[in-house]
Amino acid sequence: MEIHRDLDHLPVFNKPIVTVGTFDGVHLGHRQIINHLKEIARKIQGETIIITFEPHPRLVLPQYGVPVKLITSTHRKYQLLSELGIDHLIVLPFTIEFSMTPWEVFIREFIVNQLHTFCLVVGYDHRFGHDREGDHLKLQSFAHELGLKVEEVPPLLIDGEEVSSTRIRNALHAGNIRLANSLLGYAYTISGKVIHGNRLGHQLGFPTANILADDRLALIAANGVYISKVEYKGKIYGGMSNIGVRPTIAHSSFAIEVHIFDFNDEIYDEVINISFIDRLRDEIKFDSLEQLKNQLKKDKIQAQSILEGIQR
């Protein structure tokens, strides 16, 4: 996948099939749109183009209030899109000034006149331009005037509800990893550098790798204990993770940590990826470290059993 940021020097695309969006999470709903994009391109031997924005519009526009936390980092999002076989990604810088662009101007000047788009693929609820005024009906009418073909992709429903980034965020905030993963189509993942902790895990017989998430805007799932898989230098290990304040430990602070099964390497300052498979339980304040240790033994048995079942 070629990534384009210099809008003044874009190449001449061959029968470009285009879609526009933030694509946070690159979830199954997004993939339905992308699959349709690819299918059209395959039939006409065209090129697929995704137009996205940096930063996320909800990080720029004041009407959204608290800045959104992102399901995937920018790097991870681009990696996922590349894995899906997209030909080109055009990154538009999103500013207050850009947000004031009327939707008709964006469609006419950029989508049609600059890209020479053969077909524009949109989700059923996509909105364009200033104040999101450009809906599908307006777009269809305007596109007809411009000779632009537009195809709309219906929503993807799971359990009777639309798959959306908002629904995934809500599931993660609730610690519902199973639901989040089912909507994403892959396991929710946090990446980060291994940092020094208080080494209490070593004393308990459960050494952990503490990580600093690689993106301050990353959405961190609800506090709790999780079954995980850990990727380190291309190898995958089972593990169990804790997100939270570790209430049994005096003067503890928030941490993301993982106990990696059958692993004893020192990996400080290395980057690891923690994929969350399921949630074991809430964080619990135990009366003693011995009680905590006994619970961790039970957690490990349960986590290993579930991971073995998945691998069969």
For the stretch 56-92, pLDDT in tens is 988 888 766 677 899 999 999 999 999 999 999 999 9
* Measured CA distances, 3 to 40, 75, 87, 91, 170 (Å): 21, 12, 9, 7, 30
Residue 128: its pLDDT value, please?
Answer: 73
Among residues 88, 109, 115, 101, the alpha carbon closest in space to that of 15 is found at 115
CA distance 92 to 95: 9
Please, are residues 73 and 63 in contact by the beta-carbon 8 Å criterion?
no
Residue 172: its pLDDT value, please?
Answer: 97
Q: Where are the domains of the chain?
A: 13-162, 187-311
Residue 214: its pLDDT value, please?
Answer: 82
Low-confidence ranges of the chain (pLDDT < 70): 63-65, 129-135, 312
For the stretch 237-279, pLDDT in tens is 999 999 999 888 877 789 999 999 999 899 999 999 999 999 9
For the stretch 235-248, pLDDT in tens is 999 999 999 998 88
Q: What is the pTM of this model?
A: 0.92
Long-range contacts of 123-126 (CB under 8 A, 24+ apart): 123/21, 123/29, 123/33, 123/152, 123/153, 123/155, 124/152, 124/153, 124/154, 124/155, 125/155, 126/20, 126/21
Domain 187-311 coded CATH 2.40.30.30:
yes
What's the CATH code, domain 13-162?
3.40.50.620
Asked if the bond preceding 55 is cis, omega within 30° of 0, the reply is yes
